[in-house]
Structure 1
Amino acid sequence: MKDFIAAEDRGVLQAHQLDSFEALWALELAAVDEPNTERGGYSSVSRLELDGVAYYLKRQTNYLTRSWLHPFGEPTFARELRNIQRYQKLGIPALRAAFFAERKVAGERRALLLTRALDGWQDLEHWLLDWTARDEKQRLAILRACGELARKLHDAKQMHGCFYPKHIFLRQAGDGFDAQLIDLEKNRRLVFGKRDRIKDLEPLLRRAGSWSETEVWSFLQSYVGSGGDPNDWRNRLGARRKHKEARH
């Protein structure tokens, strides 16, 4: 995959001589959490601040995903970049990529992805803390933002694949909330219609266990908009949950 640099980030990266794979790879930065060693490789995330602009620099070695297009594997960041660019074209709110590049070095497949930090945003897990102590107006605004985000995603014929509270980021905007998605590695096109949509929604509602039935209904109303039946989706979600519970 070709190197990528976002037009709006080119200037600041060039000013710091960080507009190349080699320069970004060589940076000595502390990891923000424990490196991931799944897939037989290594992947880490560090924070980088340049002239008041904050980024997350993700670097990986031999951390590959396989598909029929890439039977021998490709860096997971390459797939994530494609999905970030796809979301941007489709108008689905999501994180922004600033730089991507991959190299083969001494028999290793290395890749890095630089994304804009979401400073000022908090994931849904944060907003779920002390959920019942939050005022009703704020709770309803969050539910509406999450439902509308899910609708934009699925109306664009995309399935996130990890539609969890930790991957939905929210920011207060007046009386409401803006919402966007991160972690797009597992995104794919909707293939099986409502079944795929349910596979996205059910894990979110299961993990947002503090939402009452009335609040789930409010979420579904925002999800279907004016032209759908929330009751149909509630029944489908309930059936999937019962099916999953029966298997365990």
Structure 2
Amino acid sequence: MAVEYVSDTEASAENRFDEFWAQRGEWVEEPNVRRGGESGVQRVTTADGRLLYAKRQTGHIHRSWLHPFGRPTVLRELAALRGVQKLNVRTPEVIYCGARRNATKQWEALLVTAALEGFEEIEHWYAAGGRERYGEELHTCLLKELAETLARMHRGRWQHGCIYIKHVFVRVAGEGPDARPEVALLDFEKCRQRLTATAAARHDLKQLRRHSSFSDADWKQLLYFYETAFGSAIKGLHT
């Protein structure tokens, strides 16, 4: 059995895997057949009421020069989560990650993360009137927080690889003059390190622009904050 991460527990890694593998919940991402297997995400509530998200995979692998025969994609995702968390990028807390081969020698893999308490998709926040409720000053701070989060990730050469607006989550801590926006990023399955920070930045920002509904004015402001934090302009993003 290959276990890359396991939370503090007296149970053996094998028992821990069995425990999570046996749990069932509502599918929030129906199993998709790709990469030679299946991968989906379930919402699971523990006995003590904690909300978790369990990515369950069977035969869902990626290949690289380091792993020519393939390995579960959740193990790559775990490495990315660890990497960006060191750069102060907020992501879901990893509760458990492990992989094993079943009786037919096919990979079974799990990545269990905690729900981002108080966060919601940024598009849902907009739709619910968050911008109007908190005003333009806080919204400007939100764009700055998102820009600086992305810049930290990219300066570490980490490319998210699938940075759609639905993967940006936000919450507002505090009320009145003490209110401040916080940003978290999700879904690091395609995340990898590039040779240069600029390559990572260019890919993700172009993708975010295509898959978001930011107005031209908001995007221009986001880019200003981003390039200030990143330390240089990124060619091809202002056209």
TM-score with structure 1 setting the length:
0.81
Q: Tell me how large the CA RMSD over aligned residues is.
A: 2.5
Q: Could you tell me which runs of 5 or more consecutive residues in structure 1 were left unpaired when the two chains were aligned.
A: 240-248
> Is the contact between residue 131 and residue 210 of structure 1 (CA under 8 Å) also seen in structure 2?
no
> Is the contact between residue 142 and residue 177 of structure 1 (CA under 8 Å) also seen in structure 2?
yes
> For the structure 1 residues 167 and 152, does the alpha-carbon distance in structure 2 shift closer, same or farther, using more than 3 Å as the test?
same
Query: Corresponding residue for 2:228?
Result: 225
> Is the contact between residue 157 and residue 196 of structure 2 (CA under 8 Å) also seen in structure 1?
no
Query: Corresponding residue for 1:242?
Result: none
Query: Corresponding residue for 1:236?
Result: 236
1:35 is paired with a residue whose SS is strand
C-alpha distance in 2, partners of 1:75/1:115? 17
* Bigger mean CA offset, 81-90 vs 109-118: 81-90
> For the structure 1 residues 28 and 48, does the alpha-carbon distance in structure 2 shift closer, same or farther, using more than 3 Å as the test?
closer
> Is the contact between residue 128 and residue 208 of structure 1 (CA under 8 Å) also seen in structure 2?
no
Question: Cα distance, 1:201 vs. partner?
Answer: 0.6
Higher normalized strand content (fraction of residues) = 2
State which of 179, 200, 203 in structure 2 corresponds to 1:199. Answer: 203
> Is the contact between residue 128 and residue 210 of structure 1 (CA under 8 Å) also seen in structure 2?
no
1:52 is paired with a residue whose SS is coil
Question: Cα distance, 1:111 vs. partner?
Answer: 0.6
2:35 is paired with a residue whose SS is helix
C-alpha distance in 2, partners of 1:144/1:19? 44
| Percentage of pairs with the same residue | 33
Q: Does 1:106 align with 2:109?
A: no
> For the structure 1 residues 39 and 181, does the alpha-carbon distance in structure 2 shift closer, same or farther, using more than 3 Å as the test?
same
Aligned pairs for 1:136-155 within 5 A: 136-155=136-155
> For the structure 1 residues 94 and 30, does the alpha-carbon distance in structure 2 shift closer, same or farther, using more than 3 Å as the test?
closer
1:90 is paired with a residue whose SS is coil
TM-score with structure 2 setting the length:
0.84
